[in-house]
Copies of this chain bind each other. A is one copy, B any other.
Amino acid sequence: MNTVKTRDRILQTSLDLFNDQGERAVTTNHIAAAMNISTGNLYYHFRNKREIISELFRAYENRVRGVLNLPEERSAQITDMQFYLTEIFRGLWEYRFLHRDLETLLLADPQLHEDYRNFYRYCLGQAQSILMALDQAGIIRADREACEDLALNAWIMITSWFSFLHCTQPLTTASGVSESMLEGGIYQVLSLGKPYLTETYREAALALIAEVTTRPDWLDGRMS
């Protein structure tokens, strides 16, 4: 029982440290020290940092896979988009270290890179299906090609939002981006879909968007 708990504690401590300090700055020694355990004890559970990262990626992946499902036995609704995006951005925040230096992480671990590519394909496929369901429900008007383009654009916006903030915004806090700044990305992703809304649903959808998220007017670089 105790070893199971230690394993989970190692994962949680690693996640906290990676998120706060960036994965590159944290060693297994730091993790063990933060937990007051020996590195030997840590290595009993994970052979190296790479294994910890893989396990955290799997947890992140399962979090997102648990969200991106098509509604069963009913048509898609406007509120579904709210659920998908809120949950996805919550996941992004919880595992934010992953998207801070993803390219380096993936280049260092071919297996992780392959897992990530499978995850990408799964997410893109689900996003495409969700958008086509919104089209079928008459909420958006978008053919298959437009749904594919939209899904890809949304993927890039979501996975790049954190890095965009880091590169372009004046960040005053030490740890950088706050959860609410991150959630500003929800508005931008929804803005991709706005022009596809049908007349019937436009007003209701825009009202819902306004409820879910506020336009990130705090963003540096806006005219208004």
Q: Is the C-beta of A156 less than 8 angstroms from some C-beta in chain B?
A: yes
Q: Is the C-beta of A222 less than 8 angstroms from some C-beta in chain B?
A: yes
Task: Say yes or no: A160 contacts B153, CB within 8 Å.
Answer: no
Residues in B with CB closer than 8 Å to A121 are 220-221
Residues in B with CB closer than 8 Å to A156 are 156-157, 160-161, 164, 188
- The CA of A163 and the CA of B100, in the complex, are separated in Å by 12
Is the interface on chain A under 10, 10 to 19, 20 to 34, or 35 or more residues? 35 or more
- Interface bits A95-113 vs B (CB < 8 Å: 1, else 0): 0000011111011000001
Residues in B with CB closer than 8 Å to A164 are 155-156, 159-160
Residues in B with CB closer than 8 Å to A4 are none
Residues in B with CB closer than 8 Å to A144 are 223-224
Instruction: Classify the secondary structure of A's interface with B.
Output: helix
Residues in B with CB closer than 8 Å to A168 are 116-117, 120
Task: Say yes or no: A104 contacts B103, CB within 8 Å.
Answer: no
List A140-190 residues whose CB lies under 8 Å from chain B: 144-146, 148-150, 152-153, 155-157, 159-161, 163-164, 166-170, 188
Task: Say yes or no: A103 contacts B153, CB within 8 Å.
Answer: no
Q: Is the C-beta of A128 less than 8 angstroms from some C-beta in chain B?
A: yes
Q: Rank and list the top 10 A-B pairs by shortest CB-CB distance, nearest first.
A: A195-B195, A160-B160, A124-B221, A149-B191, A120-B168, A121-B221, A103-B166, A156-B164, A156-B160, A128-B223
Interchain Cβ contacts under 8 Å between A and B, 23 examples = A102-B163, A103-B163, A106-B166, A113-B167, A116-B168, A117-B170, A121-B221, A124-B222, A145-B224, A146-B194, A146-B195, A148-B223, A149-B191, A149-B194, A153-B192, A156-B156, A156-B157, A156-B161, A157-B157, A159-B160, A159-B167, A160-B160, A192-B192
Interface residues of chain A, those whose CB is within 8 Å of chain B, are: 100-104, 106-107, 113, 116-117, 120-121, 124-125, 128, 144-146, 148-150, 152-153, 155-157, 159-161, 163-164, 166-170, 188, 191-192, 194-196, 215, 219-224
